[in-house]
Structure 1
Amino acid sequence: MLNRLLPLMLLTVISATSTAQAASLRCEKGIVETGDMQEDVLALCGEPDQREHTPRQIDPDGYPAEGSVTVDHWSYGPDNGMVRRLRFIDGRLVDIDSSRR
């Protein structure tokens, strides 16, 4: 019986530990988290100190290449030595990273 329960217990532990949690960032006007749109982040955090924009790839016919996306990187700070970097894909916040300088 233990041989049958062990795989089930392992699967339960693995699925419980792999549950993704949204990253968040506290701004002057509220909290943003992964999944938010760029407009929402601008409204809550204001203009970033630095922006980088990578547009979609365009195929030879002038259309967006299949599977290509826009990627934006925004940075806030340093604020008390902390820099916050946000990455957007097609306008949606997908990653928040903070580090000390």
Structure 2
Amino acid sequence: MKLKLELEKKGHGARRLAPILWLALVLTLACAPGDARADSMICTNGIASTGDHQAVVLAKCGEPQFRKIISTGDNNRIVEEHWGYFIDKQRIFIFINGFLSSIVY
């Protein structure tokens, strides 16, 4: 109670600061990823973006740490393939018919 009176006497405006702190908290939580996805990723030799062909991603990002075929179509044609990169944290590049469709963190 004594601290509150001292703040009010000194004119710090602690009551005006509270809404700003709430706004900062709400914005921080709103920006926190649930299922984080990206349209592009900065790699060693460029930026890999959705729509890029596997060869382009390979040239920009290098060989992935792993490759996993999720499904195949007729005549063993690959429909979906996952590539794993560990840049600062794990990234999964998802390719559909040879083209990058999404990047998942």
What is the TM-score normalised by the length of structure 2? 0.57
Tell me which residue corresponds to 1:75.
Answer: 84
CA distance in 2, matches of 1:94, 1:55: 15
- The alignment partner of 1:70 has SS state of strand
- Aligned partner letter, 2:80: V
Tell me which residue corresponds to 2:54.
Answer: 38
- Aligned partner letter, 1:47: E
| 1:93 counterpart = 2:100 | yes
Alignment RMSD: 2.2
CA distance in 1, matches of 2:39, 2:71: 25
CA distance in 2, matches of 1:69, 1:53: 7
Contact 2:44-2:61 within 8 A present in 1 as well: yes
What is the TM-score normalised by the length of structure 1? 0.59
Larger gyration radius, structure 1 or structure 2: 2
Aligned residues: 68
Structure 1 position 69, deviation (Å):
5.8
Greater per-residue helix proportion: 2
Structure 1 position 97, deviation (Å):
1.1
Percent identity reads: 38
CA distance in 1, matches of 2:82, 2:57: 13
